[in-house]
Structures are given as structure tokens and as C-alpha cells.
């Protein structure tokens, strides 16, 4: 019994970590840069980044992302917060909102990157069905299409949090179902196009913050998408 509880606690801890990671990335995509973001960025200490940059096990993009964000923190330390906020807002809008052709990368919608053309809604419908299968109603966030990268990351955050809750309750079957959901959503959806979009952002970003963020997101998506298919804890 003690060994089983220990395993459940470990799995719950890992799922919480996944959820926190997905959720943190989603917020940058979903929320316009504001004064609170600027304050949080300026409060970052370089030592925070250095503790990771010298470590082993990080893929290139994660390391490069942390390095770029660290550089940005150093660059803005003496700038007024309002100036930083405006600079970030301009870059965020150009990179993530797809205002017009030629002004930043194509908008971060799965249907744009996986469809036959920008008006191909098959991918969008497929994403919406996947959400519904797991009890999520994309219409609740009408500000973005269901296949927007920030909403897809939010959905992965939700799946991870549900995993953690199931593990904490000792419901192995439910936890496994959410694990499989995370794996399949990455394999069939975000893992197929998210890194491609991030590569475009890396090329077109005008701030090291968003260039670093794109590297970081690309690295994390690729790491998660390459995770083996989950095996039930009860499988012989």
C-alpha cells in the first residue's frame, strides 16, 4: 500500500509540473502584455536562469530560450516600465495575432499550419471534438478560435491537472485516461505544428523576450511530443 501511494504521489507531482509548464506558456500567448508582466520580468534574477543554463539534460531550444530571456532582463533593467510594456505589446500583437499578411508570421491556428489553406476548418473541428471528448467547451473562450496555440496549451494544462487530481484520489484508471489524452493531443495536434510556428516566431521576433519565449515553447513542445505512449500502472 505504501509503495502504491508513493507511486501515486510521484505521478501527481509530475502531472502538476506538466500543468504548470503548459499553463505558464499559455498565459504568455493568451494575455496581452501589461504592467504586471513587466514587473514580473524586471523582478527576475539572472541567477534564476544561470542555475538552469549550466545544467545537463536541457535541449538546445530550452537552453537558448532561457539565455535569450535572461539577456532581455539585463537589457531592460534601467528602462521605464511603460516603455517596456509598449515594446512587448507591439511584438506580441505582430507575432501572435496575425493581423495581416506580411506583418509577422501566419496566425498561430492549427488549421492554418495543418490545413490545405487558411480557410480549411477541418483541423479546427477536429480540435473542438477532442476538447468535447474530455468535457471542455471551447465556446467558453470566444475570444480565440479553439485551435489557437494558447488554448491548445491551456487544454494540455487542464488534462495535466485532471491527471494530478485523479492520482491524488488513487483513481488509476481515470489518471491513465487523462495521460493518454495528453499524449494523443500532442501526437495528433499541437505536437504536429506548434514547433513549426515557434520557429517562425524565432525568425521574426523583434525582442529577445519573445524570441526566447519561442525557443522555450518549441523545446518544451518537442520534448513533450517525444514522450512515449503511457503504459497503465496496472499493466503486467
| pLDDT tens by residue, 131-145 | 999 999 876 666 788
pLDDT surpasses 80 at 45: no
Half-sphere exposure of 203 (CA within 13 A, CB side): 10
How far apart are the two ends of the chain, measured CA to CA in Å? 18
How high is the pLDDT of residue 110? 94
pLDDT surpasses 80 at 15: yes
Half-sphere exposure of 67 (CA within 13 A, CB side): 11
> In Å, how far from its chain's centre is CA 156?
8
Measured between alpha carbons, how far is 152 from 134 in angstroms, rounded to an integer?
A: 13
> Per-residue confidence at 234, pLDDT binned at 50, 70, 90?
low
Average pLDDT over residues 105-127: 84
Q: What is the dihedral of CA 154, 206, 54, 23, to 10 degrees?
A: -10
Measured between alpha carbons, how far is 45 from 39 in angstroms, rounded to an integer?
A: 12
Average pLDDT over residues 91-110: 91
| pLDDT tens by residue, 76-88 | 999 999 999 999 9
- Residue 49 neighbours by CB under 8 Å, 6+ apart: 66, 67, 69, 70, 73
Half-sphere exposure of 232 (CA within 13 A, CB side): 8
How high is the pLDDT of residue 236? 47
How high is the pLDDT of residue 44? 81
Task: Map out the domains of the chain with their CATH numbers.
Answer: 2-225 (1.10.3480.10)
How high is the pLDDT of residue 233? 63
Average pLDDT over residues 133-162: 89
| pLDDT tens by residue, 180-189 | 999 999 999 9
Higher per-residue confidence, 1 vs 44: 44
Amino acid at each position: 500500500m505504501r509503495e502504491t501511494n508513493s507511486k501515486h504521489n510521484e505521478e501527481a507531482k509530475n502531472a502538476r509540473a506538466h500543468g504548470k509548464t503548459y499553463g505558464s506558456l499559455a498565459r504568455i500567448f493568451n494575455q496581452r502584455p501589461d504592467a504586471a508582466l513587466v514587473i514580473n520580468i524586471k523582478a527576475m534574477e539572472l541567477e534564476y536562469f544561470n542555475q538552469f543554463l549550466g545544467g545537463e539534460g536541457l535541449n538546445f531550444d530550452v537552453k537558448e530560450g532561457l539565455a535569450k530571456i535572461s539577456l532581455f532582463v539585463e537589457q531592460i533593467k534601467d528602462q521605464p516600465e511603460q516603455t517596456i510594456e509598449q515594446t512587448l505589446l507591439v511584438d506580441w500583437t505582430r507575432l501572435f495575432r496575425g493581423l495581416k499578411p506580411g506583418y509577422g508570421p501566419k496566425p498561430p491556428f492549427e488549421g492554418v499550419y495543418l490545413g490545405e489553406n487558411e480557410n480549411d476548418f477541418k483541423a479546427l473541428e477536429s480540435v473542438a471534438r477532442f476538447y468535447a471528448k474530455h468535457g471542455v467547451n471551447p465556446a467558453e473562450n470566444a475570444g480565440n478560435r479553439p485551435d489557437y496555440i494558447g488554448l491548445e496549451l491551456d487544454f494540455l494544462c487542464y488534462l495535466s491537472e485532471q491527471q494530478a487530481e485523479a492520482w491524488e484520489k488513487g483513481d488509476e484508471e481515470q489518471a491513465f485516461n487523462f495521460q493518454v489524452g495528453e499524449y494523443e493531443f500532442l501526437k495528433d495536434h499541437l505536437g504536429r505544428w506548434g514547433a513549426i510556428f515557434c520557429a517562425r516566431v524565432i525568425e521574426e521576433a523583434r525582442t529577445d523576450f519573445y524570441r526566447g519565449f519561442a525557443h522555450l515553447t518549441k523545446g518544451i513542445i518537442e520534448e513533450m511530443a517525444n514522450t512515449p505512449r503511457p503504459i497503465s500502472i496496472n499493466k503486467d
